[in-house]
Amino acid sequence: MTSGLQSLRVRFRMFLLLLLAMLTTSLSGSVIRVKPGVDLPNSRDGDTWGTATNLQRALSIAVAGDEIWVASGVYYPDAWRILSPERRGDSLAVKS
């Protein structure tokens, strides 16, 4: 019976380690990468620098625990109308 009890303890410890690993993985957020001037934000997810999205999309798809990594550059609320004076009041929206 001792070997059966030891086997049960080993299985229980393995279960706890697996559970801890799963919780740690699910609690850590993902990284969303952003570059200025990305014109097709909806087709890009920001998982890599090659698929970096624009800042507004990153702000809208981020969930609690996510990180937004921002490449250096100048960011505008609307990449299509960068130099338009009548759009001077535009802003980036952060969801609450």
Q: Is residue 12 part of a domain?
A: no
Q: How far apart are CA 87 and CA 12, in angstroms?
A: 61
Residue 21 lies in a domain: no
Domain of residue 83, residue span:
29-87
Q: What is the pLDDT of residue 82?
A: 55
Length of the chain: 96
Q: Is 93 a member of any domain?
A: no
Produce one character per residue of 80-96: b if its CB has 16 or more CB atoms within 10 Å, e if not: eeeeeeeeeeeeeeeee
Give the model confidence (pLDDT) of 16-29 as tens digits.
888 777 766 555 68
Q: Which carries the bigger pLDDT value, residue 63 or residue 86?
A: 63
Q: Is 2 inside a domain boundary?
A: no
pLDDT digits (tens, 9 = 90+) for 32-73: 999 988 877 566 789 999 999 988 888 888 888 889 999 998
Classify residue 95: in a domain, yes or no. no
Query: What was the pLDDT predicted at 71?
Result: 93
Domain contains 40: yes
Supply φ then ψ for residue 69, to 5 degrees: -95, 125
- The residue type of 18 is L
- Total domains present in the chain: 1
E runs forming strands in the chain: 31-34, 67-70
Asked, for residue 1, whether it belongs to a domain, the answer is: no
Residue 24 lies in a domain: no
Q: Tell me the whole-structure pTM to 2 decimals.
A: 0.59
